[in-house]
Structure 1
């Protein structure tokens, strides 16, 4: 169905090819998972399937890419629309209509599908992706995860033979991600749809893959059965990392397979003290106190009378399903978003008087509370990465600490100064905005889905930065659906539902008690209290050292 024959891609002005000598064949009815670090060329590989590369992106395509027998070099995207459906990293950028129902019908209208068929497919897709209650909602009113599901649904209604998905679950909560992946798997198994899917949250998708295409970063692609490819990759989900550590063969790809192999390991770890998953938190005095916060959008109450206290030196994970009010709460705490009721008080550096950031000039408010939004491009407005970083350092006004460039190099090393910010991958954009915000060294750091688009190494670097901020006496709040990141980075977890806080407590207590939020290691080794592979490695190392 999809064939790459000695394919290479070089973008204009670049001497190093993004892809080189790629030979890849994906048969009909197969799900191929594309993995690799941020910026290695995954999006380029996907774009070559429907002709976006090079017809839209420019550059030079060498070799031959064929889809269902059509050579993409001679068929632009519009001539492949009936066979290839594409969902990009930023769903909002691809919307063309105003409401959910209209967006689901739009592609079918362009393909001249009969109205009676369109209506039937819209209803099927609404049910398939859990969008029925949102059918008349405006697209801009939806949460990021809801927008992602609409974007996937708008492609599915055309019944394409090939689906190309660039991080389809990155903005979804665990339950919604499972629903979307189950729907995609049904399309593969029951209808013979071929799926090419790039994703950083491998723990969610690896068990569904028939084939893995791994981009090591030198332009080549290594592909084959998942258990074989992941034996030597630099990145892998926790279930595979645990299998490598324990020496399991074949490597497990699902929690179920891992639990079957884990009995000897559980017995070996029984009665051993569980190493801490991260540094010992030392929570200090309250830095932010919110009382009775209310946020409404017309008749919709997004946040309902929420009270929250954040302490210095503490990392708090804000979790909950899509649309539960997490982003609305963050914007209300930061001061830029709507807030119809309640109060927010943030204590200044050195124990200065508490102030409401909503009532301060932007420059002063930024030094109290910094926020990285779900859509990082909202904060990017200059022509180059260097200009953005320099402006951030200027606005930071000599607060001390690392420069914006130093923070960026820890998160996403190797981004050239002259690159236009909007030419970066989604993960690189997020890293750039995070660096810009951290340059001001605010006392409260709010991160809205910061791991979206980040690979595992970048998440480790982000964890290190979050730890460093907490060690400096700042408080960090991370709104996220990434349970693996929460397990390794958070001291405390706050869970929201329908605009209210329904759980608040230490990380281990909250996430292990929930089948939805429990990380893979906790599921595999339950009832032992391990959250991360690193904890298991530390325990095994201690046993070996004691012998």
Structure 2
């Protein structure tokens, strides 16, 4: 179905090829999982399938890409639209209509699908992706996760023979992600659709893959069976890390198989108490932000209902809940830039009187509460990465001046001005920790979604206020970048700042958060220590907790620490049903 024949792709601003001599054939009805660190070339590989590379992206392509017998050199993307459906990292980039139903029908209209067939497919897709209640909703009013589902649905209605999905579950809650992946799997098994899927949240998708295409970052593409590829990769989901630590062979890729293999491991861990995910903050945890009866409504429809929330210094709080539960609305209201129908917000910055972010200037509000939005490009407007980084460092060094240039005033009006201590890393250093290797002269909007997010995180973290709100910060980040983000968030909390992370990434929450607040229909339905909230939930529990239940372990690091202090295992290894040993 897809053949890469000695494919090499070069970009003018890169010294080395992004892809080098790729020889690969993908058969009909095969689900291939594309993995690799941020910037390794995954999006380039996917873009080559429908001719976006190089017809749209530029660069030089050597070799051939054959799609259902068509050479992409001679067939631009518009001539492949009937056979290849593509969902990009940012769904907003692909929307061309105004409402959900119109967007689902648009591609079929371009392909001249009969109206009766169009209506039937739209209804099927609305039900398949849980969008029926949103059919008449304007696209710009949807949450990021809802937009992601619409983008996937707009491709599925055309019934393509090949699906190319770039981070399809990055903005979805765990339940919605499972529904989408189940739908994709049915297309593969029942209809023979070929799927190339790139995803950083491997714990969600690895069990569905027929084959893994690993991009080590040197231009190569290494293909093989999932268990074999993940045995040696530097990027792997927690279930694989746990299997490596326990010495299981073959590596299990589903929670079901891992639980069967983990019986001896659970026996060894009996009576062991896991250590804390985060070290307790020194001293007390003062209240830095107090929100009372916060209510947000849009055209009379409540999104947040009289929420009470207290954020304490030195504490990392995870804000969770299904798509559309009101998480982003709450963050924007607390920061002061979003609508607030009712309630009060008070921020107690060290050395200053409590203030309401809504009753001060925009620049002063950012000194009190910083917010990284879901769409990182909202804060990127300069011409190069270097300019963005340099401007952030200048803003940090000059927190008191309002500036004389309109560009500087605009920046200060949109980003926090509360400069950190002199020993904090520069914006460039923070970016290199999150996503190393991004050239200074790259245009910010030419970066991958993960690189854009890493850049915005660096810009905001370079000048951190006492309260920092991160809306889906792990979207598009690989495991290595998440590790660096955890260290940065932990460092900010260690300085006495309050950090809130709104996310669907349960694995990140398990490793980074002290506390979890769960929203549903605009109400807080759970608020407590991380272990108490997520272990008790079959939806929010991380893989390690599911595998080792009823033991209260959340992360692989907790397990390995407990094993280091546990008595030696019996001489005869115990084998699980899949041949796994502990």
Per mean C-alpha deviation after superposition, the further-off stretch among 405-414 and 307-316 is 405-414
SS at match of 2:463: coil
Alignment of 1:174-323 (within 5 A): 174-281=174-281, 284-323=285-324
Q: 1:389 maps to which residue?
A: 389
Q: How much has 1:12 moved relative to structure 2?
A: 2.2
Per mean C-alpha deviation after superposition, the further-off stretch among 163-172 and 394-403 is 394-403
Alignment of 1:440-519 (within 5 A): 440-519=463-542
Q: What is the aligned residue count? A: 546
Q: How much has 1:363 moved relative to structure 2?
A: 2.2
Q: How much has 1:264 moved relative to structure 2?
A: 0.7
Which one of 436, 445, 449 corresponds to residue 413 of structure 1?
436
Structure 1 CA distance, aligned partners of 2:123 and 2:240? 38
Q: 1:11 maps to which residue?
A: 11
Q: How much has 1:439 moved relative to structure 2?
A: 1.7
Structure 1 CA distance, aligned partners of 2:91 and 2:305? 28
Per-residue CA deviation, residues 14-67 of structure 1 (Å, 9 max, x unaligned), is 221000011111110010000000011000000000000000011111111111
SS at match of 1:349: coil
TM-score, length-scaled by structure 1:
0.98
Q: 2:448 maps to which residue?
A: 425
Q: How much has 1:393 moved relative to structure 2?
A: 1.7
Q: How much has 1:491 moved relative to structure 2?
A: 0.1
Structure 1 CA distance, aligned partners of 2:138 and 2:13? 40
SS at match of 2:518: strand
Q: 1:344 maps to which residue?
A: 345
Q: How much has 1:281 moved relative to structure 2?
A: 4.1
Structure 2 CA distance, aligned partners of 1:273 and 1:110? 60
Per-residue CA deviation, residues 358-404 of structure 1 (Å, 9 max, x unaligned), is 22222222221110000000010100111111111222225322221
Change (3 A) 1:155 1:546: closer
Per mean C-alpha deviation after superposition, the further-off stretch among 383-392 and 252-261 is 383-392
Q: 2:122 maps to which residue?
A: 122
Q: How much has 1:256 moved relative to structure 2?
A: 0.2
Q: 1:539 maps to which residue?
A: 562
SS at match of 2:566: helix
Change (3 A) 1:544 1:387: farther
Q: How much has 1:276 moved relative to structure 2?
A: 2.1
Q: 1:399 maps to which residue?
A: 420
Whether the 8 Å CA contact 1:366–1:440 is kept in 2: the answer is: no
Q: How much has 1:148 moved relative to structure 2?
A: 0.2
TM-score, length-scaled by structure 2:
0.92
Structure 2 CA distance, aligned partners of 1:272 and 1:106? 57
SS at match of 2:464: coil
Structure 2 CA distance, aligned partners of 1:544 and 1:392? 52
Per mean C-alpha deviation after superposition, the further-off stretch among 443-452 and 352-361 is 352-361
Q: How much has 1:241 moved relative to structure 2?
A: 0.7
Q: 2:67 maps to which residue?
A: 67
Structure 2 CA distance, aligned partners of 1:492 and 1:14? 43
Q: 1:374 maps to which residue?
A: 374
Structure 2 CA distance, aligned partners of 1:11 and 1:414? 15
Q: How much has 1:544 moved relative to structure 2?
A: 6.6
SS at match of 1:440: coil
Structure 1 CA distance, aligned partners of 2:567 and 2:24? 43
Structure 1 segments unaligned to the other structure (5+ residues): none
Q: How much has 1:545 moved relative to structure 2?
A: 9.0
Structure 1 CA distance, aligned partners of 2:362 and 2:464? 14
